Structure 1
Amino acid sequence: MFFNRLFTFFIPVLVCLCLFAWTTTGTAVAADTAKGRYLAADTCLKKLKRSAVDINKVSAWLTCIEKYKSIHKTFPGNSWAPAGLYKASELYFQLAKKSGNANWNRQADDIIARINLLYPQSAYSARAKTLAAANASRPRPNKSDVKIIQSQKALTRNDEAIAEYHSQKLAQAEAADTGEYQQPSDIIEKNTQAPAYLGSATTKPNDTDPSPPKGDTTVTDLRFWSSSEYTRVVVNADSERNYTYKLLKKDPALNVPFQRLYVDIDQARLGNNVPDHTPINDDLLKQARAGQFAPHTVRVVVDIKDFENYKIFSLKDPFRIVMDLVG
């Protein structure tokens, strides 16, 4: 009687355990299919777009992109493979637009070429051609313009070296979203009274009219972009204005454990929607701060944790000042 009861008790338990193991194994196998990987990549993308932090990280974008690309690598003959590649190319284009880095456009072009070569009969081949045509006008990087960045941080420790370096002609600021490369500047600007017109000390807001525009412009937005190599802070304004910048060394008297880099925008007013403090908290920057420094001057300050180089330049249409800190 005892053994009958024991047998009656353990048989259902063993059946449940077997069903659970079979279901778990089946779910794992189902997840490791082409469709399962595509759905997992979709989940990654949804989380990315819902996160106010990850949406500004290149690494988070690339994680989702690699999930889509892995479908082709593991299941090249499956119909989900070209779908994953198409989605990866689409995200590369979005990443290039959001980050201002034209190199991601080239990555998208490479994937589209792979779709047309490997899956010419797929519906995604036609869609890829349409996607490529829609983004054909976006800038592509020119390899001949790419240069190797070498740290110039040591120049900031020697006044004579700074003066000598400052006497050299700075490379003209070039827009990152045109695919052209700009030589970074590591110079501490000592004369804040001499305005750095639109990104360099020699250019003017208008080549035909050397006088600066009249009236105050409005600083409308302050945003940042964080990647593993650099952090970019962008200040938007309604119209072009002169600006100056300066890198401040750590001041023990102020008990501030970080350096500060600021930009003063002439004839400007701070918009009501621009926050006083914008937390960044990545490897390079702690935060960005914006305020009405003087009645007609807006100052934007970034608190620096660590950096190797920095560069400041402006872009047009719309006018914006870009602060890049390279780690």
Structure 2
Amino acid sequence: MRLIAIVFFVQAAFVWPAWALTARQQFYRAENAAAALKKNTRHQKYRDKWLACIEKYRKVYRLDPSGPWAAAGLYNAGLLYLDLAKRSYLTTDRQEAVDLFQRVIQRFPKSRYTPKSKAQLAKLNKPVASSRPSPAKGKFKTANAVYKRLMNSPAKQKYRDQWEKAIDRFQDAYRADEKGPFAAESLYRMAELYKGLSEVSKRKSDGDRATDIFRQVTDQFAGSAYAQKADAQLSDEKGTASTAKTDAGDPLAGIIAGSQSASDSVSEEAALLPNGLVTVKGLRFWSNPSYTRIVIDADQETRFSHRLLKKDPSIKKPQRLYIDLNKSRLGKDIQKFVPINDELLSDARAGQYSQETVRIVVDIKSFKTYKIFSLKNPFRIVLDVWGLETEKSVAQESQPALRQRTGKLPPGAIARQLALGVQRIVIDPGHGGKDYGAPGYLKGVHEKDVVLQIAKRLARKVESDLNCDVVLTRTTDRYLTLEERTAIANTQNADLFISIHTNAIRDKRAYGIETFFLNLATDDDAIMVAARENATSAKNISDLESILNDLMQNAKISESSRLAAMVQREMCQHLKKSYSHIRNKGVKQAPFYVLLGAQMPALLVETSFISNPRECKRLTNAKYQEKLCDGIVRGIRKYIRETSPTAFMKPSAHPVENG
């Protein structure tokens, strides 16, 4: 027995646990996995093998986002996506590589991987030039011969390797010149062969591959004869060939021909849809002239893909973005057409693209950038679109607040006259309605009620003491989704966003105050707090962290950190003047849904532990709430003074007339 124990101890000593890996160790682990994949031609045929290697490189970055190995992890993940794109022919894989290279350039300008990333981007955008004739013509001729032999031989059509042989030949022709005269037809023939193979093999994966490549043809070679043929194939799959003829060349035509035909096709298919499909339940949006958020609600989690299509004047189609939800069907009561008509988007439309695919189409007027990510419990897909903020849009947004009907200037108008950096603050009382939040130690006390009381007190103090506009995300006991709260802050052009919560844990002895800002989680406690406030599991936090990697460039991380530090310090110091046992748990970072996508410095304040006997009594006390809010206001004031030193100086000029 002792010998076994010794052997186990020795083995354990040489196994480095996964949770203790450094970024450097993770990088070498990723290198080994990538090397093994490149040697194994059989594994290279499977997408999940590539994605597993890519994830290992991306984890290098997540382990230490500012460390010396972060850029190497992102760059090598981009290279793998490029290799994958050569096999999958999906523009989404190619775009993932582009995004990763761009992120290296933006986040690590002094890294040795930045010039490498720029070289890769230049190579992707530069057409291949050669003095020699392109080999594509010869490869296409060979592929065509193999294709004809297969089509003329029912015996050969029984064997998978014969189909794959023809597919590989067209693949070689396409790769030889991806923008040449044979590229569109080569790609189309590949899709056609996968479709034929699916009818023989009965494998859904073959049919899905055919669909993906047909879509690739419509996207990459829009307006060509083969794009129209591919569109017809896609229309045949969903049984709407007549609709496709009306809008030839438009891969979205099947779901936008008219509400009557769309609803008829859905009702006819409803009886045929198998059990277990995800139901798409609705479309919601919030907007202002420079920002729009669209949310797609579904009753279960499902995979989705998206693609941005260029404007096509020849068929009078604007620039469009579409999102496909796999294994999905439209809900009976969903609003299929949602007019938006802001400065960025015209509308959003939902349709049953195929028996098991729902497609959401967004018509675009203009935009600067966009991001798409999903949230859980319940599952929803969030599309954020940002535009270039013009002087006109700023004036339109600010004008209504400058003068109320009474003729008096609201508090925020004074702030604008003083040219403050902070003019409008959105305060978000957490939870509400059916979402009670954490239960209090005292019977009948719930987080949703306590934080609403605190938020209202804080709003009054911010208006009176700081002369800023205040917007409360809710003023009554009503339910708001987490993404709706952030959207309110963005569409209100808020300068600060403060979400008010109370902390809770099973251990009733835990107490203290802590403030969070949006970033990758730093410790297990922060992960658990984020999991509770997100109403999700700790396991899903890793999914959210991967989303954060894509949103870092938009988040005001450093400003949020500075604001959080000032609020936390002033809050605790002010409370200590009147109360004992005030524990400063410090400033922490974690991925919170409610802060995701915020375009201003944003923080989440865990005011005290509602699960602690002493702090629960304090949280229900008006005096404690007042002192707590005084501390938060002091922190905001200090932040404003640092960002705008003249903010609170009294104007020496004559008073402003209301005229």
TM-score normalised per structure 1? 0.42
The structure whose Rg is larger is 2
Instruction: Choose between structure 1 and 2 for higher RCO, CA contacts under 8 A separated by at least 6 residues.
Output: 1
TM-score normalised per structure 2? 0.23
Whose helix fraction is larger, Structure 1's or Structure 2's? 2
